[in-house]
Structure formats: C-alpha cells, structure tokens
Amino acid sequence: MIGITSYAEPSVRWGVWDVPAAVIPLAYVRQVEAAGGRVLLVPPSEEGVDETLDALDGILFSGGSDLDPAEYGQDAHPETNGTRPDRDRGELALLRAALDRDIPVLAVCRGSQVLNVARGGDLVQHLPDVVGDEKHKHTPGVFADHAVDVKKETRLGSLLGDRAPVKSHHHQGVGRVGEGLVESAWAEDGTLEALEDPDKRFAVGVLWHPEEGEDAALFRALVDAARHHRDGGTTTAASATTVA
C-alpha cells in the first residue's frame, strides 16, 4: 500500500459543489497502480503520523506549492508564494518519521524539497536568480522538457542510466544539501535535480515530474521497495503482483 500526500485546497469545484478538498493529480495514482501498487490518499495533518505509517508500505510525497522558508531559516523571496504552512508541517513530520522507520520514500518536485529540508538542508527560493532564465518553469501549467545527467554510482543511476529526459515545472531548487543525502542528477545548467539517502531501503527525491513521463522506473522501484519492506526484506511469489 502506497500513500500519496495530497494538496489541501480551500475551494474545489465539481458539479454543483464548491468545497474544501484534499486532491492529487490522477497521474500519480495511475503510475503507482501500473507498477503494481495500491494507493491511499494522505491529506496534510500533523496528527496520527505513526498510525498513518502503520498502514503504509511506502509513501510518495507529491508536488505542490512553495515551502514556507521559515522552515529552513530564511525570509521569503518576493517570488515565493502560495505557501501552505499546515501542509509543510504535516509532511515534514511524516517524512522524518518514514525515514526513521526506513519506509520507502519517493519524493517528487516539492516533495524532494521537503526531503532536503527534513534533513536540515535549505532551498534556492528562485532559480532564475541563479541560472539566469526560467526554463525549468517557462510557462504556467506547461511542463518544460529537458534532460538530466545522472550519477551512475547511485540508486537513481541504476534505474535511469547516466542521462534521462524529464518534465519539470518548478522555480525553486535545492540549496545546501541535507545531512545524509547525496546528489544524484543535474540539469545542463547545473541545477541539482535529484538527491537520495544511500543508507535507506529507498529514499529518492527528484525535482522533475516522473508521473508525467513515459519511464515508470521510479514507480516500479518504489513499489518493489515497499513490497520488500512489507515482507521484511524478502520477496515471495504471493507478493509479486500487488502491494495491498
């Protein structure tokens, strides 16, 4: 069973309704299901972290809005916006607890930033100030296509090889890398695009959006690691089709 962290939106419309709702893009769900997993939605909450993790074999930290820079000791940049401090607090607590229990983690876009901050790292609040352009998020609502160079001697390298096409939509990035994390992929402009904890069963963060791409290797790896976690490190024929 794979948990996916959700957005908590104050106003979501469908039919005649306009209500607060916990939502995630369906692409995340379909990728996990295609990899053999089953999904539980994990709305933002600081309560019940241990009970939530008791129900999960792995967890995917999804994309979303900018983190509150107070979480990593900075004042807000003029371009930092849409922060959701309640989601930040809930996901930071959940991610730290998941790592403590060695529950497999895949962290996507904002999720990779949560991973870094959870380990004491910080963020670059506006990448155009560093790289000189907005090619990582050139058009609102449209993913930017580019390639990343991957370090071979990493978990990510074993999954993607030394170069991979990706889809991005972000204006923030990883600054100081958190404790225990290693860098594993970079964009051509030098932006750090992925990091991981080599001492965990599976703890990988990518700044791009693999759910929008055609390569499902990261989702298969998450589900496989979750299956091993559930089975105590072993794989059996009975567990070879789904994590539930």
- On whether residue 137 sits in a domain, the answer given is yes
Instruction: Report the pLDDT value the prediction gives residue 129, as an integer from 0 to 100.
Output: 84
Do the domain assignments include residue 48?
Answer: yes
Q: Phi/psi at 54 (nearest 5 deg)?
A: -60, -30
**CA 80, CA 69: separation in Å to the nearest integer?**
8
Q: Is the pLDDT of residue 236 over 50?
A: no
How many domains in the chain? 1
Question: For residue 133, what pLDDT is reported?
Answer: 58
Fill in the amino acid letter for 83.
Answer: T
Does the residue 244 lie in any domain? Answer: no
Give whole-number Cα distances, 141 to 102, 167, 201, in Å.
34, 12, 34
Within-domain flag for 233 = yes
For residue 75, is it within any domain? yes
Is it the case that residue 163 has pLDDT exceeding 90?
yes
Alpha carbon distances (Å) from 23 to 72, 157, 174: 26, 31, 25
Residue 215 has a pLDDT of 81
Q: Give the structural domain span for 120.
A: 2-12+19-239
Over residues 221-230, the mean pLDDT reads 98
CA distance 207 to 111: 8
Return the percentage of the chain with pLDDT > 90, whole number. 80
Q: Which residues are catalytic?
A: 109, 209, 211
Q: How many Cα atoms are found within 13 Å in the side-chain-facing hemisphere of 77? A: 14
Q: Tell me the CATH number at 48.
A: 3.40.50.880
Confidence band of 196 (pLDDT split at 50, 70, 90) = very high
**For all residues of the chain together, what is the average pLDDT?**
91
